[in-house]
């Protein structure tokens, strides 16, 4: 018997909203190679809901609503890569999606994305230094990242864990709300 209250097996799917389902399919299936595994026409002409296999038994899904509002930078998401501006987005927003990749493949994947016309960040080596980044992949690097955006400006990341975690990796005290909730 487990002492966990729920038997979670990972992320079934994360559902986002797109402007153009055809462009979304072309990017996620055509550029990133995620197979389209399920399509749904929503009743009453509400739109569509499509699912992509993003590996590891997980799915990434998209809704297309004909009357969806346009995104608002800094509210619905950051609106840019972290190397181009602020990473901040609103409470309850989806900031970015990170896909697990092998650490030694990041340079290759960066070249493939760029060859497909997708602008990317440089590869970031995240560590516990003052600014959280190092120029080189060292033994202190815990994750390597490559950032890019989809056709709707959704921030995506190829992320690669580079070491295991231990008790020293959870030393920060959680902070509370700076301003009271409405």
As annotated, the residues of the chain forming the CATH 3.10.180.10 domain(s) are 1-67, 81-165
* Total-model pTM: 0.89
Q: What is the DSSP string of 59-111?
A: EEEEEE-TTPPPP-BTTTB-SS-TTTS-----TT----EEEE--GGGHHHHHH
Q: What is the pLDDT of residues 92-124, one digit of tens each?
A: 888 999 999 999 999 999 999 999 999 999 999
Please identify, in words, the CATH class of the domain defined by 81-165.
alpha beta
Please identify, in words, the CATH class of the domain defined by 1-67.
alpha beta
Q: What is the pLDDT of residues 125-144, one digit of tens each?
A: 998 888 888 888 888 889 99
Q: Which candidate, 140, 137, 77, 76, places its Cα nearest to that of 105?
A: 137
């Amino acid at each position: 018997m487990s002492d966990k209250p729920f038997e979670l097996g990972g992320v079934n799917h994360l559902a986002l909203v797109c402007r153009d389902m055809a462009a979304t399919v072309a990017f996620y299936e055509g550029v990133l190679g995620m197979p389209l595994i399920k399509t749904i026409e929503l009743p009453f002409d509400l739109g569509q809901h499509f699912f992509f296999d993003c590996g590891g038994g997980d799915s990434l899904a998209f809704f297309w609503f004909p009357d969806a509002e346009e995104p608002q930078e800094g509210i619905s998401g950051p609106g840019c890569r972290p190397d181009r501006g602020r990473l901040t987005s609103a409470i309850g927003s989806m900031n970015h999606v990170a896909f697990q990749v092998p650490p030694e493949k990041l340079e290759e994947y960066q070249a493939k994305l760029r060859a497909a016309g997708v602008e990317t960040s440089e590869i970031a080596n995240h560590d516990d230094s003052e600014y959280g980044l190092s120029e080189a992949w060292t033994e202190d690097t815990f994750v390597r990242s490559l950032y890019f955006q989809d056709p709707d400006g959704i921030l995506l990341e190829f992320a690669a864990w580079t070491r295991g975690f231990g008790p020293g990796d959870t030393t920060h005290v959680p902070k509370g709300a700076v301003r009271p909730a409405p």
